[in-house]
Amino acid sequence: MATDRQLEQVVVVGAGVAGMRAAETLRQNGYDGALTMVGAERYAPYHRPPLSKKLLSGQVHRAGIDMAPQFDIDARVLRGATAVGLDISARTVRVRDDDQDVSLSFDGLVVASGAQPREWPGGPAPGGVLLLRTVEDCLAIRERLGSHPRVVVVGGGFIGAEVAATCRVMGLDVTLIEQATGPLVQALGDELAPCWANLHREHGVDLRLGVGVDTFVGNGQVEGVRLTDGSQLPADVVVVGLGVTPATDWLADTGLRIDGGVVCDATGTAEGSTGDATVVAAGDVARWWHPLYEQHLRIEHWDHAARQGAAAARTLLAGKDRAEPYNQLPYFWSDQYDLKIQMLGSTTDYDAFRVIEGDPRGWEFIAAYGRDGRTIAVVGTIPNRVHAYRDAISGSAEFPPKPPD
């Protein structure tokens, strides 16, 4: 595909997988104008999935997670630089780079600023209460795990559940605290909550459900965690995994529509992007209209961010009138103990659930989610079996779907 219009100055804000894939896709498709990447982290792009898994446990080394550049994208790359403002009519992004404000002009902008982990909401926490988002966060936690600490994980989403599993496999004492009825409820629903709860308990995690953290105990360094039911746990390391919020602060009052992320149409064009300059968004920060699900979805998964980054770049090149809608199915995996949990599709607003192959009690199963009588997502632990349901989900097959041969 040749460029259909004359772009000359593209700025990509974000150097995670969405930003990287956007930059590479621009070059692969013949864009030969100026390209500037703005990355908040000081490191070259790296793979984030191992941070809660093999990098945390030490099974892979730091160098093993670098995203090997496949070719020279011929870009000016600012690292440790944060976008702090956007002026759409002037077509400039304001960036803070080493205490200096720089203004970058653009005629095409890719917003891929990602998300930031939710801080502990109860104010300052003692040392040893840590978040996990970046490679630095991961290595800081890993360093502390070496002294065989008692670990408390707050939040049973994917990050919390994976950190708990990784720490248990390393032989550490782990308590996992989750306010809902089980781990992964937000993504995978109440029906499977007992399944994931058993998984962690059978592996020796002290799982506390239906309670939250009242306060952290400790002067300087954390010594314990007091729960909302009045009980207290000893703790040497606490990992807080309360989800993320899209990094949109720098986009406030710019004319872009921000509502739980940068709201985009099905091509990735940001709503409120006006004039000659096109603004697209991709990855954790973006909420695209999904033609299959007929709603805006913000999806926090690696595979999705990679593909959406590429799609956003294609939109930028084609121009918004000729850009093609993106309707790929979200896909993710999560490694916990010996299980690889995989999901294809989105469970958002599901109203039906059924196990369609195997049995969750034996950890080998496939389950489907439906809405209005149609199949919208499939989750499973039989390796890669979910991919066999791709057509059923893309084609909105009747729920429950028939297991393919």
Minimum CB distance to another protein smaller for 158 or for 331: 331
Q: CB 186 → another protein: shortest distance, Å?
A: 21
Q: Which is nearer to another protein, 302 or 399 (CB)?
A: 302
The phi and psi torsions of 286 (rounded to 5 degrees) equal: -105, 145
Alpha carbon 22 to its chain's center: 17
Identified binder of another protein from the candidate list 191, 206, 223, 303, rule CB under 8 A: 303
Site for another protein (CB under 8 A): which residue of 3, 28, 116, 215?
A: 28
Q: Which of 333, 337, 394, 396 binds another protein (CB under 8 A)?
A: 333
Map the footprint of another protein across residues 104-123, applying CB under 8 A. none
State the Cα–Cα distance between residues 140 and 147, nearest whole angstrom: 13
Q: Any idea what the Cα angle at residue 264 is, between residues 258 and 268, rounded to 5°?
A: 140
Residue in 3, 34, 44, 47 binding another protein, rule: CB under 8 A: 47
Q: Does 290 bind another protein (CB under 8 A)?
A: no
The answer to whether 306 contacts another protein (rule: CB under 8 A) is yes
According to CB under 8 A, which one of 14, 21, 138, 377 is a site residue for another protein? 21
**Phi, psi at residue 22, to the nearest 5°?**
-65, -45
Q: Is 133 in the site for another protein (CB under 8 A)?
A: no
State which of residues 31, 106, 120, 331 lies at the interface with another protein (CB under 8 A).
Answer: 331
| C-beta of 261 vs 380, nearer to another protein | 380
Calculate the alpha carbon distances from 92 to 95, 104, 105, 178, 352 in Å: 10, 5, 4, 43, 47
16-24, 168-176, 210-218, 241-249 -> range binding another protein (CB under 8 A) = 16-24
Least distance CB 49 / another protein (angstroms):
5
Q: Which sign does the torsion angle of CA 135, 141, 144, 145 carry?
A: negative
Amino acid at site 384: N
Please, is 374 exposed, middle or buried when counting C-beta atoms within 10 Å of its C-beta (0-12, 13-18, 19+)? middle
Q: Would you count residue 59 as binding another protein (CB under 8 A)?
A: no
Instruction: Tell me the number of residues near another protein by CB under 8 A.
Output: 32
**How far is 369 from 375, CA to CA, in rounded Å?**
6
**Pattern 335-374, another protein, x by CB under 8 A:** x----x-x--------------------------------
Is the distance from CB of 193 to CB of 183 less than 8 angstroms? yes
Helices (H), 29-134: 54-57
Q: C-alpha angle 254/257/258, rounded to 5°?
A: 95
Rounded CA-CA distance 193/197 in Å is 6
Q: How far is the CB of 62 from another protein (least distance, A)?
A: 13
Q: Which residues pair with 345 in a beta bridge?
A: 377
In angstroms, the CA 15 to CA 21 distance is: 9
Tokens of 37: 């990447």
Of 77, 63, 64, 62, the closest CA to residue 24 belongs to 77
State in angstroms the smallest separation of the CB of 269 from another protein: 21
Gap between the Cα atoms of 141 and 137, Å rounded? 6
Q: Establish if 307 lies at the interface with another protein (CB under 8 A).
A: yes
Listed in sequence order, the residues at least 6 apart from 169 whose beta carbon sits closer than 8 Å to its beta carbon are 57, 203, 337
Q: State in angstroms the smallest separation of the CB of 162 from another protein.
A: 13
What minimum distance in Å lies between the beta carbon of 247 and another protein? 21
Instruction: Determine which helix (DSSP H) or strand (DSSP E) holds 104, and give its type and residue range.
Output: strand 100-105
Which member of 10, 12, 25, 353 binds another protein (CB under 8 A)? Answer: 25
> Could you tell me if 334 and 340 are in contact, meaning their C-beta atoms sit under 8 angstroms apart?
yes
Query: Does residue 385 touch another protein according to CB under 8 A?
Result: yes
Output 21 or 287, the one with its CB closest to another protein. 21
The one among 232, 274, 295, 384 contacting another protein by CB under 8 A: 384
Tokens 């629903």 correspond to 189
Applying CB under 8 A, among 24, 173, 178, 271 the residue interacting with another protein is 24
Tell me: does residue 382 bind another protein (CB under 8 A). yes
Instruction: Decide whether 288 or 302 has the Cβ nearer to another protein.
Output: 302
Binding positions for another protein, rule: CB under 8 A: 17, 20-21, 24-25, 28-29, 47, 49-50, 64, 67-71, 302-303, 306-307, 310, 328, 331, 333, 335, 340, 342, 382-385, 387
